[in-house]
Every structure is written in structure tokens, then in C-alpha cells.
Structure 1
């Protein structure tokens, strides 16, 4: 066991960054906080060996508070001292009044993705920690996420068309603070991290209470890992089942499922294939079907199919028509005329 406040040493970093060794170059997102500063220093040291990826850094200046530009310049000086090229990426334009953190996060990833492309397809590396994973899990639980959402953040994923790596998800934030301090590195403290107006901050404030009851970041991180393992198994089963349940369909843009035959499988498989059918037909590729709505629609269709009733439902911009023969057709919902629902015409 590693002490909670023990710095991350070079030997441990070797294991943490092993998955990054085959990348041609890495774009490290450095906000100036202790997490990202420690990540930058560890990666710069790790990448100094022959055959390792090229390291570059980028800082997003959101322009949301006084001092952000000065902090970005301080990061640039830190990068210069470490021998790491640095890019300053400002978030320009008007800022939203509501949903600020979500919009800022979206803008941040967009800017990083464009910079990664400019650098020849670099993989973006962020300093998300075990504490961030725990907070994410709690937030998603509160929002009603199912197993797919409760896997939390993944160590490797894709966003905005670029590879995204989070090699420090198993490392406590306190250890990264200790790492920065042990190396004598400058880092900034973002006051927004203590602002209770933001949901993540409110969960962060609750973590000490939860930890005293035994639900600490390590326990939550372990839960996310176990759920990820379960999610991979379920996704694999659903992928294997899909070809057997899809039926020939002459209607362009529609999908037919042998829904009655699908009922021989567990309800989780029914819901997953239903979600896949809707996702493949829906007009809005960015639309996300909430689990509660999927379950409500799915369970109604299951009940109707077992009773051999016909049923029509709408979900995520699609019309789902179940026939008495147990065949389910999923097609895109017609464009509505103003004030008139298609069902009324």
C-alpha cells in the first residue's frame, strides 16, 4: 500500500504511463493546478528516455476570472523550465450565464482537440485523479445513471475525434499535491474549486463525511473498475446477439427487430438492443436517451409483446411500432407541423 500523501516516484510513473509509450506525441493539458503540474513534471521526466513520445503542453485560458491570464503565463514559464513546448489556448467569445462549468468543459476539450490535430494527431493527456473519479461516480448516481454511466471516466477514450488518456485515475489527488511540493514546483489554487454553486464542488465537500462512513474515493474507484468490467461483458454479449435479432427491412433508415424472440434473453439485453436500434435510427446523433425513458418504453414493449398486443411508442425522435407478430419497427419520427402532433393527423 502507498501512503496517501506520498509523492509519485519515477518507478511508479513508469507503470502509470506504460500505455502511452506507443503514441507519437502527447499533448498534456496543464491548468496550473497541482494535479496537472505534477502530471507535466512526471511525463517530462518519463519522456526524456530514448524512444518515448514527444511531449507538448497546452493551457486553456477560460477568461472567467481575474488572474487567469497570469496563471497561464506562469504555466508557460514552468514548461520552459522543464523543456516542454507550450501553447496558450484562449476561450474567446461570450460566456454563458447558466451551465458555465459544462460549457467551459466542452470548450476546453474542443480547443485541446484542435491543438492536438494541429500537432499531428497528438493524444491528449489529462490529470484526472482518483478523487475526480469518485466525484464523477457520485454525480452520475445522483442523476440516475445505469452501469454504463457508473463506470466513471475511462483511462482511454475518444472525444472530438482525438485520443484522450487519463493515466492518473488510480492516484489520489493528495499524492499529486505532494509530488509538486516535493519537486519545488509552482502551482495555482483555482477559487472555483471551492465554489458551492457548482455541483462537483458540493460533492467534493461531502467526501470527508462519506469517507468517515467508509465510502472513500478508493472504494468508489474500485466500484467504477468493477462496473467497467461488468459493462464490457454485457456490451460484448449485446454485440454478439445483435445480428441474430435484426430482421431484413425494406424501409430506408429503419430497423426491424425480432422483439418476441429477443424476450428469451434477459431484460438487460432487451434494453441494450432497443437502445442500439434507436441510436442507429435517431436523427440527432448527439441525442442521449435517458435510462429512465428507455426503461419505461422498453418495459411497455415487453409487456405488450408477451400479451401479443400491438403498441406504438416514441423515444429519442423515433417511432417504435410493435406488431402483434412480435416484430418491432424503429423509424425516424416525422417532422411535426406547428401545433400538430403526427399522431393527431
Structure 2
């Protein structure tokens, strides 16, 4: 088991509670600290965590983010690098579980950011207590139901030294600006508790829609030539839009679609083009996530790897809208939309202690 520990109160509580609860028969614990190299003190902070881990008899891994850092979108890039490094570290020690110290406060901030970005139920569901991070690796957040204040108090009561990351209050970053607004929003009724409750409701709705989509996908699958995923277009067309969207998302995954999943792009393709074409019996060809999606006159719907293209065709719009130069590009005269890399901006109980959160984590015994 790998513990992601930055030295703040949340992850410090995680490290000490996990060490206390693991016992001799429990899983082997390792601690990892990601040094992003963004602040002069980051190396010293990683060393402080290493000393704390050594005091508990736990091996420590310092992971450094190497290479150029982007001028914009720094926090998003740092997050991607952090999970990539942690996943690689977990693979190196054969860990099947990665634990982080995310709290209820983090969940509330995530939901607020996604609310401002106009996310649907999947985004408003916030962070999951558990999710796959890679082959054979589960990311778990055992403190997601605990307020940060409870962890701060827990560390203070035990005399544990914790670190403070100044970037958490840096107004250059959107999350920090929203964090500063949280007290005012709470006074108006938009408290952390209500944001978390919204996430729970959205998660329930998303789970129901996802289950319906999975069932519908199984019913709509049809045999196709090797290298293609076939669907019954009439079955897909008869579904409510919300279920059809999720079916198509799963179909893209199943067919080997690459790149990030962006709801805006999937909605635009499905709601404005593909579903209307299926319901009207019109042929259509579009690409998304590296796949060619084809609705045929016989009612079939297929997904297969899209032909490679060197760049926009003459007369086409580089932003992905078809123009006169695209007509007939893939045959039969249907205009084709080449959707480029998905680069839309991504705006990821009181009285209980960390030990309780860990004890109820469904993965602590693995």
C-alpha cells in the first residue's frame, strides 16, 4: 500500500493513522512525497516527510517532477504529473492501493469548481472514494467524509508537526480563490456540507444513468468486421439522450478511443449530429477520440479507428467544423467533422477521527 504524503495535516494524519492501524498482519506500507520543484522549500519539506516516515518505520520515496513546467495551467499539469509519478512508484513496489488524504473540504471545493464550469451529474458527483488509477492500482480516499478541521485537531492533539503549503492560499490559482470565498458562500447557504450533499445526489443519479447505459450497450451490440465495434442504431436512437450519451461514451472506450473524455465534445457530436441522423435514418460519418463513428443507411452504427490525416483539408475549419472542402472526404459525400485534441479547460463526519475513516475504508484490509 502506498500513502501519498505531502506533510500537510491531512496526509500526516493519514500516515500516522495507517501506521497505527496496519499491524503486523496488515499490508506493507510505503510513503511517497511528490516534490514538484515549484517552491524553494519543496526539497526540505520532502525530507521532513521522509524523517517522519522513518520514525514510523516506513520506507519513503521522494518523487520529483522533472522537465519543463507549463506557463499556464500549472496546477492541472502538476496534478497530472503527481498521479503519474505516484502510479509509477506504486507499480515499482507492487502496491495495489494508493491512499490520499483528501477531505470533505476538498470534495466541496471540487464540486464548486465543477459547478462553475457547468458540469453535468458526472462532474458534480465530485471525487470518488475509490477509483481505478491504472492496471492493478486503486486510488482510495478514506478521509473523504471527514472535515479538514477534524484532521488538524487530531494532529494537534498528538503533537504532530505538519507543513503548510503557501500555494493553497495563493490567489493566482482558481482553487485558492474559491477556497477564500467559501466562508462567504456558506453564510449565503452554499456550505461545504450542502456541496457534498449535491455530490452525493449527483453520484446516485450518475450511477443509475451509468447502469442503464451499460445495460443498453449490451443489448445494442452487434457483430461487425474485425476491428470494428457494431451497434444497433435503432436501439441507440430510441434511448433517452442522457442514457444514449453514456452509452456512446462507453462504446468509445470499448472501441479503443484515445484522449481525454470531454462531455462538451460528445454532447455536440451526439445531440446535434449523430442521434438526429439515427432517428431520421440518415447516413453520417464523424470522428471523435481517434475513432470514426459511422451511421449507415441499414441502421447499423459502427466505431473503428479513424484514418490518419496530416492536417486540415483545404476549405475545412481548423476548429473542427466541416466546410465545403470536407464533403466526400470519407466517401458518399457526407461532410466529416474532425474533432481535434480535447483541450477544453477542466475548471478532480464531525467527531470522527482519521482512524475511523481508515477503519471503514473498504480497501484497508487488502
> 1:337 offset after TM fit, Å?
4.1
1:288 matches 2:229:
no
CA spacing shift, 1:308–1:63, aligned 2, 3 Å: closer
Give the structure 2 partner of residue 21 of structure 1. Answer: none
1:309 matches 2:282:
yes
Give me the whole-angstrom Cα distance separating, in 1, the residues matched to 2:287 and 2:56.
Answer: 56
Give the structure 2 partner of residue 239 of structure 1. Answer: 214
CA spacing shift, 1:305–1:217, aligned 2, 3 Å: same
Give the structure 2 partner of residue 14 of structure 1. Answer: none
CA spacing shift, 1:304–1:190, aligned 2, 3 Å: same
| 4+ aligned runs moved over 6 Å, structure 1 | none
Write the deviation string for residues 161-217 of structure 1: whole angstroms up to 9, x where unpaired: 322111000011111111111111111111111111112112212211221122211
RMSD: 2.2
Unaligned 5+ segments in structure 2 are 317-325, 330-366
Unaligned 5+ segments in structure 1 are 1-25
Q: Does structure 1 conserve the Cα–Cα contact (< 8 Å) formed by 2:217 and 2:251?
A: no
CA spacing shift, 1:106–1:273, aligned 2, 3 Å: same
Give the structure 1 partner of residue 270 of structure 2. Answer: 298
Give the structure 1 partner of residue 117 of structure 2. Answer: 143
Q: Does structure 2 conserve the Cα–Cα contact (< 8 Å) formed by 1:110 and 1:160?
A: no
2:249 to 264, 267, 275: 275
Give the structure 1 partner of residue 18 of structure 2. Answer: 43
Give the structure 1 partner of residue 299 of structure 2. Answer: 326
Give the structure 2 partner of residue 153 of structure 1. Answer: 127
Give the structure 2 partner of residue 20 of structure 1. Answer: none
CA spacing shift, 1:277–1:56, aligned 2, 3 Å: closer
CA spacing shift, 1:325–1:170, aligned 2, 3 Å: same
> 1:31 offset after TM fit, Å?
0.4
- The aligned length equals 316
TM-score (norm 1): 0.83
Write the deviation string for residues 57-114 of structure 1: whole angstroms up to 9, x where unpaired: 1212222111112222222222233333322222233333222212222222222222
TM-score (norm 2): 0.79
1:211 matches 2:183:
no
CA spacing shift, 1:262–1:91, aligned 2, 3 Å: closer
CA spacing shift, 1:263–1:152, aligned 2, 3 Å: same
